[in-house]
Chain A
Amino acid sequence: MAVVNVLEVIDIRLAFEGVIAVDGVSFEVGESELFAIIGPNGAGKTSIFNVLSGVYRPQQGTVRFNGDDLIGRRPHRIAALGLSRTFQNIELFSHLTVVDNLMLGRHNHMRYGPLSAFLWLGRARSEELKNRSAVEDVIDFLELEQWRRFPVGLLPYGVQKRVELGRALAMDPRLLLLDEPVAGMNVEETEDMARFILDVREELNIPMIMVEHDMGLVMDLADRVMVMDFGRPIRTGTPAEVQADPDVIRAYLGEQHRSVTT
C-alpha cells in the first residue's frame, strides 16, 4: 500500500525584499505522522508555518494539502480546509473564557448566518449545542474541566498552552501545526504536554508538524525530523539519522550533544 501524504511541500522559496527566509524547502507529511522541524533561531521554521497557513505567500514552490493547492489561498480558507495551528507566543483571546476560545475553533463547523442568529432559529440553537458538546469532548481530552469558565488570561502559562492546543483540536484538524508547544515550560509541564501530544497522535490520529527547541522532546516523539539552517534544509531523516549527521551537529546540536547521545 502506498503511503498517503497529507501534506506535500515542494521547493518553497520565500524572501522579504533581499532577505531570503526560506529557500528550497521540500518535505511531505504522511497520515498520522509526527514531523518535526528544528534549527537555530531565524532558520525559517516559523516562516514555513506562516507559508502553510497562508500568512505569507512564497515566491516559488507548491504546497498541496489533501490534494488542494494552498498557495494563494486566504488564511481563513486554509483553516477551513482543516489546517490548524498553535503559536509560538500564546495567541489566545485572553479576555474570553476557555469555552469561548474553543468555540471559536468550531467556527467553521457551524454554518448558520446572521439572520438565524438574531432570530435564534432552531438551526442556530441546535448547531450551537452540538458544537458546544464537541468542545466539551476537547475539554475532557485535555483535562481542562476546572478552568472551563475562566478568562484564559488569568490561567497559568502551562494551562494556556494547553488551551491553545485545545482550540486547534476543536477545529477537528486534518493537520496540526505546533509552534514550540513546550517553550518556556518546566519539566513537569513539558511532560504533561508530551503526553497530550502522544494522545493526539494515538487516539485522534491527527498528523502533526512540530517546531521545537527541546531536543529531548523532539527525539522522543518525532517520526522524522527536518533540520534547517539559514532558511535551507540540511538534513531530513529519523531522529537517529539526524543526530548522527555531522552537518547537523555542526549547525545546531553541537559536539557535546553527540557525545551524550552516542
Chain B
Amino acid sequence: MDEFLQSLIRGLGTGSIYSLLALGFVIIYKSTQVISFAQPAFMLAGAVLVSYLAPVVSFFGAVLVAAVVIAVLALGVERTVLRPMVGKPVFVVAIITIGVDVVVRVVTNAFIGLDVRQVGDPWGLTTMSFLGAEVQQRYLVMIGTTAVVTTALFLFFRYSRIGLAMRAVAYDQEVALAQGISVGSVFALSWALAGGLAALAGVFVATGAGVDQQLWIVALKALPAIILGGLESLGGAVVGGLAVGIVESFFGTYQGDFAPWLGPNFALVAPYALMLLVLLVRPYGLFGKKEVERL
C-alpha cells in the first residue's frame, strides 16, 4: 500500500511537470494553430536562470524572476521570429520553432558547461510522512503549485476580458479583429504564458536532481500528454500530463514484478505505448475536437 501511494504521488508530481509543459503547447496551438517545439529550450533556460539567481535573490525570488524573464524571452521570440511568418504554412512555422529551440538551447548550454548545476531548492530529496507513506516533499510541492497555477489559468480564461479574447481568437481571428481584439497581442501573450509555464516546469525537473545539458529531453514527455488530452483542450493537457506521469511511475514500480519480459526501463516507453493505444481508439485525443488537423 505504501508503495502504491508513493508511486501515485511520484507519478502525480512528475505528471505536474508534463502538465505545465503540455499547457504551454496547447495555449500556443489554440491561438496560433502552430505546435511550438521551442518549449524544451525555454524549460532548460528557466532552470539554468534559477540556478544562477537563487544564491542572489533566494530560490523563490529566482523562480519568480526566471518565469517572468523566460515569458518575456518567449514573447520576444514570437514578435521577432514568428510574427513575420503569420499566414505561412503551419508546417514551416513549426520547423522554425525547432530552430528557435536549438538556438536557445545552445546558448543556454554555454551557461551550464559540463557541470550539474543546482537550483538551490529547499526540498532536495527529503521525505515526509503523507497518509502513512514516506513521500518526497518535492512531489507534493509540484502537485500543489501546479494545482494553483492551472486553477489561476482556468479562471483567467473563463472570466477575464483577455482570456475571453484569447478564446475568441482561437475560434475565429477575423471576427475577433472586428471586435477590436488585437490578434497580435493574443499571439504574444500565448507565447509569454507558455514560456513562463515552461520555466516553472524546468525548475521542478531540476529540484532534487540539478540541471545538466540533457534536462530538455524531459519536455518531450509533453508530446504524449497533449496527444492523449487532445491538442486544443487545456483540461486535456492537464489530465494528459498527469496520466503520463502516473503511467510512467506505476510501470517503474510494478512492471519488474508483473511483466519482467518487457525488459528493464520499460517505464520510459510506457507513456508512448499509452499514446498509441489512445490514438487507435480516439485519434483526436481524449478531449480533442474530431476535425483537428494534424501536422
Interface positions of A (Cβ within 8 A of B): 53-55, 74-77, 79-80, 84-85, 87, 91-93, 95-96, 100, 103-108, 110, 112-114, 117-118, 120, 124, 127-128, 131, 167, 171
Contact = CB atoms under 8 A, between A and B. Distances in A.
B103 interface: no
Contacts of A108: 179-180
Contacts of A95: 171
A107 B167 CA distance: 13
B171 A76 contact: no
Interface string B43-57: 000000000000000
Interface size grouping (class) on chain B:
20 to 34
Contacts of A124: 160
A121 to B, nearest CB: 11
Contacts of A96: 164, 167-168, 171
B60 interface: no
Given A93-B168, A117-B156, A79 B179 contact: yes
Given A104-B164, A118-B152, A128-B159, A79 B180 contact: yes
Interface centre among A92, A117, A131 (most CB of B within 10 A): A117
B189 interface: yes
A108 B168 CA distance: 14
B152 A103 contact: no
A104 B160 contact: no
Contact of B179 (A74, A112, A131, A167): A167
Contact of B168 (A104, A118, A120, A128): A104
Interface in B221-249: none
B178 A128 contact: no
B149 to A, nearest CB: 10
B178 A117 contact: no
Contacts of A107: 161, 164-165, 179-181
Contacts of A93: 167-168, 171-172, 175
B163 interface: yes
Given A104-B164, A171-B179, A171-B180, 7 more contacts: A104-B181, A107-B179, A107-B181, A113-B162, A117-B160, A118-B152, A128-B159
Given A104-B164, A104-B165, A118 B156 contact: yes
Interface centre among A118, A124, A171 (most CB of B within 10 A): A118
B192 to A, nearest CB: 8
B134 interface: no
A124 to B, nearest CB: 7
A130 to B, nearest CB: 12
A215 B183 CA distance: 37
A128 B171 contact: no
Nearest to B193: A114
A76 B162 contact: no
A127 B162 CA distance: 12
Contacts of B3: none
A105 B175 CA distance: 11
A171 B180 CA distance: 9
Contact of A79 (B163, B165, B178, B192): B178
B20 to A, nearest CB: 16
B81 to A, nearest CB: 21
A140 to B, nearest CB: 21
B230 to A, nearest CB: 15
Contacts of B177: 54-55, 74-76, 79
A243 to B, nearest CB: 32
A91 B172 contact: yes
A93 B162 CA distance: 15
